[in-house]
Amino acid sequence: MSRNLWIIVALAIVIIIGGFLILSARQTPPTTPAPTPIQATATPAVIEKNILLSEQNKSGVSGSAVLREENGKVNVTLSLTGGPKTTPQPAHIHVGACPDVGDVKYPLTNVVDGQSQTTLDVTLSQLETEQPLAINVHKSAAQITVYTACGNLTP
């Protein structure tokens, strides 16, 4: 081979290798950024307990209580049927069990037209340590000793 041919072959090889390197650099896949970690946010736990309130003293009053813990407090919602529409009925969480409850442990908002809602500064686990407890509804403030509905807060 002549010297000029060797130069042409060498230049061709350099051009081919250089072209290959340029093309491979252009075809390098783009780098993918690392995924951003998902931040877990703590949501306050909501715990609910349903209590059946049974009729007492042939009152015709019965219903339910929902104790819902949220943010370290318990919301007590009473829903009753068969009671008076306009006469407020006192309600409490008493020490003891139905039907023979003892002293009032937590007063609740009076039941009016079958409804009552109260927020207690206590947790459900604290209530469980204070057992036995019961929710008791009275006929009226004037007849506080007459119980119309009662339900035990059993653990």
Model pTM score: 0.70
Q: How confident is the prediction along the chain (155 residues), in pLDDT tens digits per residue?
A: 566 666 666 666 767 666 666 666 665 555 556 555 545 445 556 688 999 999 999 999 999 999 999 999 999 999 999 998 899 999 999 999 999 899 999 999 999 999 999 999 999 999 999 999 999 999 999 999 999 999 999 86
* H or E stretch at 44: none
Using the 8-state DSSP alphabet, how is residue 128 labeled?
H
Q: Is 3 helix (H, G, I), strand (E, B) or coil?
A: helix
- Cα angle value 137/142/146 (rounded, 5°): 40
Q: Please calculate the CA angle 102-106-108 and round it to the nearest 5 degrees.
A: 110
CB contact set of 59 (below 8 Å; sequence gap of 6+)? 82, 83, 139, 146, 147, 148, 149
